[in-house]
Chain A
Amino acid sequence: MLSSLPPFALFFVGAVVIAFTRGTARKVLILAIPLVGGLNLWFGVEPGLHLQFDLLGYTLTPYRADKLSLLFGYLFHLAAFLGFIYALHLGDGTPEGSVAGEVGEDDIVGNASAGLQHVAAMVYAGSALGAVFAGDFITLFIFWELLAISSAFLVWARKSERSYATGFRYLIIHVISGVLLLSGALMLAHETGSIEFGHVGLAGTGAAGWILLLSFGIKAGFPLLHNWITEAYPESTPTGTVFLSAFTTKVAVYALARSFVGTDVLIYIGTAMTFFPIFYAVLENDLRRVLGYSMINQIGFMVAGIGIGTSMAVNGAVAHAFADVIFKGLLFMSMGAVMTMTGRTKGTDLGGIYKTMPFTAGLCIVGASAISAFPLFSAFVTKSMIMVAAIEEHHYVVWLFMLFASAGVLEHAGIKIPFFSFFAHDSGIRAKEPPRNMLIAMSIGAVLCVLIGVFPAQFYTLLPYEMDYHPYDFRHVVTQLQLLAFGALGFITLVKSGVYPDEKRAIHVDAEWFYRKAGPWLVGTVGRAVTRVDVYVRSSVLEFVGSIMHGAKRTHGPVGPLAKSWPTGSMVLWVAILLVAYLLFYL
């Protein structure tokens, strides 16, 4: 019976139930729901259309399983399971050994909003599952909006003024994405008569294709549409961000893989995404925001893979999405653990805490190795498929940019994150290891990063398309090791050649300044150019919106002519004017 039930149903029912339970019962439930759902999906569900009915003359398919949706289904159950293990301690008070009280907020963990976080995360995970198993655009739209609303609550769960404002902006952006999705779907339905959530592409679909692409693009963080990622992720609670990082953007990647495989423009959009965030990430001081930029960079690889569109490229894209949820989740978890225990997330405030948090540091390094695509770690066996496909399809320039971006990943995520938080100068913070549930969640993530990296063949059987690819050939391993070695060498050379400030000054100096010194030619020139274009586009859009808002307020505001109460005489005058106008029109 359970196998014919759509996966989201269990989560939504669960969300209602956990809203009314407390303590141990809730803890058991939040772990059991993703676990039972995931096992059921793994053992009990075969590809096929499991639920379908007619509404308003259209066929709705709320539950369609094929290899692509099943892969994301497994992934989201896994991510939800890890996330809930990680969030298990919510509501238990400040963790033992935390020094977060010294700085910032009293309740940085978000104990006060524990119930809200658990329920919102449950609805959020359920909506993500609903979206990937949706077989038509209307169902997709419903879950698209539910994703937006439930995740906005995770941002608000921080309960600060800033998180409120941020969450609101986040919600608006995502609702706009939803409206675009619905408009595109309507136009498509009008043109083709079908609302099936399948391949759309840009050829022969007119404006509908572009509008849908824009809608997906907002959720996937396309350049200039990416701001919500780097704005919202650092504002949520430590646990909230872990959930946020897992679902929204990956649903967008799934939607792109479903509807826009082989769309050329995605190759260039994706490449730009791998490339431009690096400059921001290198400059950024808030380490969770650095991870936000890093996320855009990783999605860029996936988007480019979908754009290339060969079996191997798409396999690479979805495999990389799978791996990314785990290693990026692991990195966000480790930063969340640091934040929980120290109350800080800025590179300049942290440092030296490996002494008291060795396990967290070790797990963070595993995540960093995975994202940097070290051999024997997950990204090595996933990202490489996209790179190889780019070469096979003769996209050499794209390949070069991606190679550069891969080196950039090492700089900003592979080295910067663990280095600044756990090593660098000693900040004197003596926080203890995070609660055990956080360590367990991170350990499972770390083990998975390694397992995928060591046994790629087993992992590849889950991928949607047939292909013949072996990541561990001599050339690939050596190339990758060289890239990593030279990347690290560059970093160390810059550090050792005196550009790196000495220990005494480093305590007082902003990391941003250090990085500007470390790579003035790179950051200074390219970075500023990217920023300038970005700032120009954004400020002109803002100016335009601002002038519309101002005009609207003048005419439509409480004292504007359209809103004020008119004297009776003027009302009657209007009637007379209209009568004359109509008469002139008719006669």
Chain B
Amino acid sequence: MTDHLPVLLVVVPLVAAPIAALLNRPRLSWAVAVAATLWALYVALELLSQTMAAGVIHYELGGWAAPYGIEYVVDPVNAWVVVIVALIGALVAPYACASVEREITEDRIPLFYAAFILCLTGLLGIAVTGDVFNVFVFLEISSLSAYALIALGSDRRALTASFQYLIMGSVGATFIVIGIGLMYVMTGTLNMADLADRLPEVSGTRTIPVAFTFLTVGITLKLALFPLHLWLPNAYTYAPSAVTAFIASTATKVGVYLLLRFFFTIFGATFSFDVMQLDRILMPLALIAIVTMSLVAIYQENVKRLLAYSSVAQIGYMVLGISFASVLGLTAGILHLFNHALIKGALFMSMGCVMYRVGSVRLERMHGLGRVMPWTMAAFVVGGLSLIGVPLTVGFISKWYLVQAALEQGMWPVAGVVLLGSLLALMYVWKVVEVAYFHEADPELGISEAPLSLLVPTWVLVLSNLYFGINASDSVGIATRAAEVLLGAL
């Protein structure tokens, strides 16, 4: 069975999704979702340890040899992304049980879990496949299920947010498929490794730069790089809490993975950065994202929206690291991929706890929560410290490598912007802390601490923020390997 792990990673959840829908009992469907996510996590960890020990794993789907058949390829880069997605999935699934019962009407809950498992399937599939058209298929699976998940939000604005995301997501996916199509026309192959071999022969034509352009716009839209982030704040704000926690920690990360895969593995760093000078587009946009989106976050009154804008800024950090196109820079970007998933997962989950008890995450409703919900708000504070980049948290590790990468290139002002971003993060995190700890709670509301089923997954993430902040050698080691693989594949 271990030989078939790459495909079982995707097939088992794909089959679990209709089962969850057919069972049509909230608790049973939930159990299926938990089982599917745990399975995915087990396979993901297994794949990561295999590829770290034995190198790249190739799996031919249905026994059809590449480049004619679809091939799944697992190397440290996507094994790492798969672990991130599966880990967050496995924590959100148990968390969802109580949270979803509070926010979604009962008859829709089985469908919610079906969509949730499908979304997980899509994200895992994007990461694990070695075929660019297959990427598009899984992208559509994950996106369509994500639109449905967001539309389930209890606020009516969730519908418009979902609709906008649908339009924008479809535009992005279309651009990606146009880019893939143009490459196929020029090379006659859809296999990533094969594409990487054949593209250099035709890279002098007009068509390939056009394909490159479509892919740039499509992917940066999917990963919400400024100024193509406009769909994100509303989607994160109005989606159900569990969905926000899941999508915020995984969907954009997979987008970043696509960026890495297309521009490093397929086009190759030399073509992307030396010929096409992708860094001249990515770096300014990343820097603008870090500063302006952090500033916007400072002025938000809804904490989920605040965190959404903060996410756009944090994506700026990842893209910034990638735009250096050096081992250190890529390490920083890939590291932040993981670290930010831990950070935002913890933060959005703690907001889910607030939503569960208070029914709103607007600042004016959160007065004095530090006293009545001590564990929830403590989770937010630790997550917030990590977001700022305080030592002993993962946020610090990310910032440290990012600043080092900037200094390695002699870019002092860029390092300055990274630190400025930390200061701005301090300001918006403080806004929440101030309301929760320095204002008196209204005792008549009778708010109490969130139930354990919400707190335990939240705190698992909070503690991993600290664990990987103190013992960073594993995560740094994998990220460095991944960066070397990406740059070594030129």
Partner pick for B210 among A186, A571, A575, A583, CB 8 A cutoff = A583
Which chain A residues lie closer than 8 Å to B334 at the CB level?
Answer: none
Find the B residue at minimum CB distance from A579: B217
Interface string of A521-538 (1 = CB under 8 A from B): 000000000000000000
How many cross-chain pairs have Cβ atoms below 8 Å apart between A and B? Answer: 105
Given contacts A562-B292, A586-B212, is CB(A579)–CB(B175) below 8 Å? Answer: yes
A578 within 8 A of B: yes
Q: Are B212 and A556 in contact (CB under 8 A)?
A: no
Q: Are B296 and A565 in contact (CB under 8 A)?
A: no
Interface string of A172-204 (1 = CB under 8 A from B): 000110010011001100100000000000000
B7 within 8 A of A: no
Q: Are A556 and B296 in contact (CB under 8 A)?
A: yes
Which chain B residues lie closer than 8 Å to A55 at the CB level?
Answer: 472
Partner pick for B216 among A164, A565, A582, CB 8 A cutoff = A582
B348 within 8 A of A: no
Which chain A residues lie closer than 8 Å to B171 at the CB level?
Answer: 572, 575
Given contacts A56-B472, A553-B299, is CB(A583)–CB(B419) below 8 Å? Answer: no
**B side interface size, CB within 8 A:** 53
Given contacts A557-B299, A575-B171, is CB(A582)–CB(B213) below 8 Å? Answer: yes
Partner pick for B422 among A179, A553, A562, A571, CB 8 A cutoff = A179
Which chain A residues lie closer than 8 Å to B412 at the CB level?
Answer: 187, 207
Which chain B residues lie closer than 8 Å to A579 at the CB level?
Answer: 175, 213-214, 217
Given contacts A142-B391, A186-B415, is CB(A571)–CB(B230) below 8 Å? Answer: yes
Which chain B residues lie closer than 8 Å to A555 at the CB level?
Answer: 292
Q: Are B168 and A571 in contact (CB under 8 A)?
A: yes
Q: Are B168 and A56 in contact (CB under 8 A)?
A: no
Q: Are B400 and A56 in contact (CB under 8 A)?
A: yes
Q: Are A572 and B168 in contact (CB under 8 A)?
A: yes
Q: Are A190 and B404 in contact (CB under 8 A)?
A: yes
Q: How far is the CB of B302 from chain A (nearest CB, A)?
A: 10
Q: Are B292 and A556 in contact (CB under 8 A)?
A: yes
Interface string of B410-431 (1 = CB under 8 A from A): 0010011001001100100000
Q: How far is the CB of A8 from chain B (nearest CB, A)?
A: 14
* Chain A contacts with B in 533-563, Cβ cutoff 8 A: 552-553, 555-558, 560, 562-563
Q: How far is the CB of A11 from chain B (nearest CB, A)?
A: 17
Docked Cα-Cα span, A582 to B230, in Å, equals 19
B221 within 8 A of A: yes
Given contacts A56-B472, A190-B404, A587-B209, is CB(A565)–CB(B234) below 8 Å? Answer: yes
Docked Cα-Cα span, A337 to B396, in Å, equals 43
Q: Are B213 and A571 in contact (CB under 8 A)?
A: no
**A side interface size, CB within 8 A:** 40
Q: Are A575 and B404 in contact (CB under 8 A)?
A: no
Q: How far is the CB of B255 from chain A (nearest CB, A)?
A: 15
Docked Cα-Cα span, A586 to B422, in Å, equals 33
Docked Cα-Cα span, A556 to B392, in Å, equals 31
A513 within 8 A of B: no
Q: How far is the CB of B427 from chain A (nearest CB, A)?
A: 9
Docked Cα-Cα span, A566 to B415, in Å, equals 31
Find the B residue at minimum CB distance from A571: B230
Which chain B residues lie closer than 8 Å to A175 at the CB level?
Answer: 423, 426
A585 within 8 A of B: yes
Which chain B residues lie closer than 8 Å to A578 at the CB level?
Answer: 217, 227-228
* Chain B contacts with A in 140-183, Cβ cutoff 8 A: 163-164, 167-168, 171-172, 175
Interface string of A86-97 (1 = CB under 8 A from B): 000000000000
Find the B residue at minimum CB distance from A566: B230
* Chain B contacts with A in 264-316, Cβ cutoff 8 A: 276, 280-281, 292-293, 295-296, 298-301, 309
Docked Cα-Cα span, A579 to B404, in Å, equals 32
A568 within 8 A of B: yes
A138 within 8 A of B: yes
Which chain A residues lie closer than 8 Å to B213 at the CB level?
Answer: 579, 582-583, 586
Find the B residue at minimum CB distance from A167: B438
A145 within 8 A of B: yes
A574 within 8 A of B: yes
B482 within 8 A of A: no
Find the B residue at minimum CB distance from A55: B472
B28 within 8 A of A: no
Which chain B residues lie closer than 8 Å to A186 at the CB level?
Answer: 400, 403-404, 407, 415
Q: How far is the CB of A81 from chain B (nearest CB, A)?
A: 29
Given contacts A579-B217, A587-B209, is CB(A574)–CB(B391) below 8 Å? Answer: no
* Chain B contacts with A in 34-93, Cβ cutoff 8 A: none
Docked Cα-Cα span, A164 to B391, in Å, equals 26
A293 within 8 A of B: no
* Chain A contacts with B in 50-82, Cβ cutoff 8 A: 55-56
Most chain B CB within a 10 A radius of its CB, from A187, A562, A574: A562
Q: Are A582 and B217 in contact (CB under 8 A)?
A: yes
Docked Cα-Cα span, A138 to B407, in Å, equals 17
Q: Are A179 and B476 in contact (CB under 8 A)?
A: no
A141 within 8 A of B: yes
Q: How far is the CB of B323 from chain A (nearest CB, A)?
A: 15
Q: Are B407 and A179 in contact (CB under 8 A)?
A: no
B31 within 8 A of A: no
Docked Cα-Cα span, A568 to B221, in Å, equals 14
Which chain B residues lie closer than 8 Å to A570 at the CB level?
Answer: 230
B233 within 8 A of A: yes
Docked Cα-Cα span, A579 to B176, in Å, equals 12
B111 within 8 A of A: no
Which chain A residues lie closer than 8 Å to B423 at the CB level?
Answer: 175-176, 179
Which chain B residues lie closer than 8 Å to A563 at the CB level?
Answer: 296, 299-300, 309
Find the A residue at minimum CB distance from B166: A568
Q: Are B233 and A575 in contact (CB under 8 A)?
A: no
B113 within 8 A of A: no
Q: Are A574 and B392 in contact (CB under 8 A)?
A: no
Q: Are B295 and A556 in contact (CB under 8 A)?
A: yes
B231 within 8 A of A: yes
B206 within 8 A of A: yes
Q: Are B301 and A558 in contact (CB under 8 A)?
A: yes
Partner pick for B230 among A558, A574, A583, A585, CB 8 A cutoff = A574
Which chain B residues lie closer than 8 Å to A164 at the CB level?
Answer: 438
B435 within 8 A of A: no
Q: Are A145 and B210 in contact (CB under 8 A)?
A: no
Docked Cα-Cα span, A141 to B230, in Å, equals 37
Docked Cα-Cα span, A145 to B206, in Å, equals 54
Find the B residue at minimum CB distance from A206: B412
B114 within 8 A of A: no
Interface string of A353-364 (1 = CB under 8 A from B): 000000000000
B397 within 8 A of A: yes
Q: Are B233 and A565 in contact (CB under 8 A)?
A: yes
Docked Cα-Cα span, A585 to B415, in Å, equals 26
Which chain A residues lie closer than 8 Å to B175 at the CB level?
Answer: 575, 579
Q: Are B228 and A574 in contact (CB under 8 A)?
A: yes
Q: Are B233 and A138 in contact (CB under 8 A)?
A: no
Which chain B residues lie closer than 8 Å to A176 at the CB level?
Answer: 423
Q: How far is the CB of A366 from chain B (nearest CB, A)?
A: 40
Q: How far is the CB of B442 from chain A (nearest CB, A)?
A: 19
Please name the 10 residue pairs, one residue from A and one from B, whose CB atoms are nearest each other, closest first: A556-B295, A190-B407, A563-B296, A586-B209, A582-B213, A556-B296, A571-B230, A557-B299, A142-B391, A579-B217
16 contacts between A and B (CB under 8 A): A56-B400, A138-B391, A145-B390, A187-B415, A190-B404, A556-B295, A557-B299, A558-B299, A562-B293, A562-B295, A568-B164, A568-B168, A575-B175, A575-B228, A579-B213, A586-B276
Binding site for A on B (CB under 8 A): 163-164, 167-168, 171-172, 175, 206, 209-210, 212-214, 216-217, 221, 227-228, 230-231, 233-234, 276, 280-281, 292-293, 295-296, 298-301, 309, 390-392, 397, 400, 403-404, 407-408, 412, 415-416, 419, 422-423, 426, 438, 472, 476
Binding site for B on A (CB under 8 A): 55-56, 138, 141-142, 145, 164, 175-176, 179, 182-183, 186-187, 190, 207, 552-553, 555-558, 560, 562-563, 565-566, 568, 570-572, 574-575, 578-579, 582-583, 585-587
Q: A176-B423, A552-B295, A563-B296 are in contact. List 5 more A-B contacts (CB 8 A).
A: A568-B167, A579-B175, A582-B216, A585-B280, A586-B213
